[in-house]
Amino acid sequence: MWALRGLRNGVVTTRWPSRPDPYAVEVPGPATVLDAHPAADGGALEALCPTGAITRAQEPSGNGSVRLDQGKCVLCGRCLAARPDVFGWSTGPAGAAVHRSGLVVPELSESPERLAELQDRLGAKTAALRRSVHLRHVDAGSDGTEEWEILALANPIYDLHRLGIFFTASPRHADILLATGAGARGMTEPLQRTYDAMPEPKIVIAVGTDAVSGGLATPSYAVTGGIGDTVPVDVWLPGSPPTPFSILHALLLAIGRMPASSSALGHSKGAQR
């Protein structure tokens, strides 16, 4: 039966990123800002977000530009439903950033020297990682949604192995640590011990909004508000949950096989009108 099904369906594995994939750009990502300078609203925009992702920059005029931290966005859609003129969905898989501030839209000003330093540092760590990379995943208080997306990477559609990336059961064989969850305090020590057991060079990817900022679980006595205070994060990937294509992009970005600029893949990080 499986052989007949394979003959009937043919090759279903995506060729992304070597070839475009329509599904990769159709699935919406975190919310983004379409109009950074709407009329004064008395704080109504900030009140739309349950995680405090929406803020206004402090400006002398008193009507600062709208900022949205995609690292806190849980894709609830409340801001889009209330103000579709100000907010929209981002598109494309290129949602990961090598620095935490890169998740704020419209993009905060970063000096070219600072960006080059971060990219060079990541490149130096991954110079030895070429065609065979092994992953260790740790759930640090996830709701389970990110785990389903990570699990999908091994199915015939995404086929993570075609890119030379494999899962391993031991942190001593791992090159990349995929950390999910809001940073449950009971998982702080196991997460740290996993990181310490990994050989150098090693990379940490915070997968999902919970791992980036804690999401809806923050503030709480039970979580640390993301995994960044426990282990050093090299790549920040928002989403609740991020798609398998977004996770693939973060992995390839981490090992230097994807450009750090999101514009290279057409990802809409936010437009300022």
**Nearest-angstrom CA–CA distance, 142 and 207:** 10
Look at residue 43 in the predicted model and tell me its pLDDT.
Answer: 79
Mean pLDDT of the chain, nearest integer = 87
Chain centroid to Cα 245, Å, comes to 11
pLDDT tens-place string over residues 2-37 = 667 666 777 889 999 989 999 998 888 999 999 998
Q: Of 11-15, 199-203, 269-273, where does mean pLDDT reach its minimum? A: 269-273
Q: Write the CB contacts of 133 (distance below 8 Å, at least 6 apart in sequence).
A: 164, 165, 166, 175, 176, 251, 255
Residue range 202-228: mean pLDDT, rounded? 95
C-alpha to C-alpha distance for 242 and 169, rounded to whole angstroms? 23
| Residue with token string 């785990």 | 147
For residue 205, give Cα distances in angstroms to 58, 109, 190, 264, 270.
31, 23, 16, 20, 23
Domains of the chain: 112-261 (3.40.50.12280)
Cα torsion 14, 19, 21, 27: sign: positive
pLDDT tens digits, one per residue of 231-264: 999 999 999 999 999 999 999 999 888 765 543 3
3 state DSSP class of 97: strand
Report percent pLDDT > 90 for the chain: 66
Q: For 50, which DSSP code?
A: T
Confidence class for position 40, pLDDT limits 50, 70, 90: confident
CB 231 within 8 A of CB 58: no
Percent pLDDT > 70 in the chain is 85
Mean pLDDT of 59-71: 78
Looking at residue 1, its pLDDT comes to 66
Residue 271: the pLDDT is 42
Q: What is the pLDDT of residue 8?
A: 72
pLDDT at 263: 36
Tell me how far CA of residue 182 lies from CA of 20, 75, 91, 148, in angstroms.
Answer: 33, 16, 24, 16
Residue 62 above 70 pLDDT?
A: no
Give the model confidence (pLDDT) of 114-133 as tens digits.
666 777 777 777 777 767 89
Q: pLDDT tier at 146 (50, 70, 90 boundaries)?
A: very high
Maximal CA-CA distance, the chain: 69
